[in-house]
Chain A
């Protein structure tokens, strides 16, 4: 989404700058777009006079739309924040609300139970109906990766799915390896 809108704004700026350059350098047919005329010349004034005052309402409306779009875009940047409550059950009579912190702590504790894992923390992101689990874990450098995979996808994640009563809870784990203690 960010990349799409950056591309749109980039294209608009490129078109504006490019057009001005091309016209200023006299590369356009001079009878339509003369380079020596001022930016605001007779025809431009005439357009604004002829369609006044409502052309200004159009300008104002466009500016408001631009500001609103920018506000939406800005709002979307902060959306990856942490969830505090979850909604379980999808019946017509509503569901149960569960504190996300407890679920996250349980996941982290479960992951940390493996001897290969030196420490783990977790929180929940996404939306209350479609939560995602975000894990950070520190493991011993000598741990086989298969061990970490097994601990995550075989033990911890299925338990979260059970706890949240859904079949699919996407999980993202960020793994750091640290040199372990040298065996005595």
Chain B
């Protein structure tokens, strides 16, 4: 079970869906203003003519529910709704790696690139390793170490241990699995 501080950290760095929210809010605002302006001005006896009401009414009076444009439009609207639902329901991956702090008032997030670089650095310090790269994906860290080709078995184990030690020090809220690949320098 995660602590409240850890959960707050994960939540803090989740995408906020600001862009889709802004777009949808702007469209709704536009719709509301257009309809309100048109209807109220018509009620006051001076239609503003923002919407081609006559043409829309003629079209809707002549088009049946089963006509292809209506069906196509309905499908597009339903798909757009589904897309928004997916955006709303999927939490999205945090853009920073949340790190445990043990202090509910303090939230720390690290750039994924920084975590990868730190792990690569830890791997490159292992004797026998010439250079190392690390890549962070969903829940795994892949470390590729270039070795001199001498005693690879022990080097691999040592790299794994060094990377795991550094990872434990960084302390991400969500656990990562470490995969080590060795590449022999020729």
Give A residues with C-beta under 8 Å from B.
2-7, 9-21, 23-26, 33-41, 53, 56-57, 59-60, 63-71, 73-74, 77, 141-142, 144-146, 148-149, 152-153, 157, 168-179
Contacts and interface: CB of A to CB of B under 8 A. Distances in A.
14 contacts: A2-B18, A3-B17, A6-B84, A11-B85, A20-B65, A67-B33, A70-B26, A149-B102, A153-B101, A172-B12, A173-B107, A175-B109, A176-B114, A177-B114
- Give chain B's interface secondary structure class: helix
A77 B22 CA distance: 7
Interface stretch (B38-46, B151-159, B178-186): B38-46
Given A7-B84, A17-B76, A67-B32, A170 B107 contact: yes
A6 B106 contact: no
Interface residues of B, number: 70
Contact of A175 (B64, B82, B111): B111
What secondary structure prevails in chain A residues at the interface with B?
helix
A184 to B, nearest CB: 18
B36 A38 contact: no
B114 A175 contact: yes
B31 interface: yes
A21 B25 contact: no
A4 B79 contact: no
A24 B108 contact: no
Nearest to A172: B107
B99 to A, nearest CB: 7
Contacts of A17: 73-81
Given A7-B85, A14-B78, A60-B36, A37 B25 contact: no
A122 B75 CA distance: 48
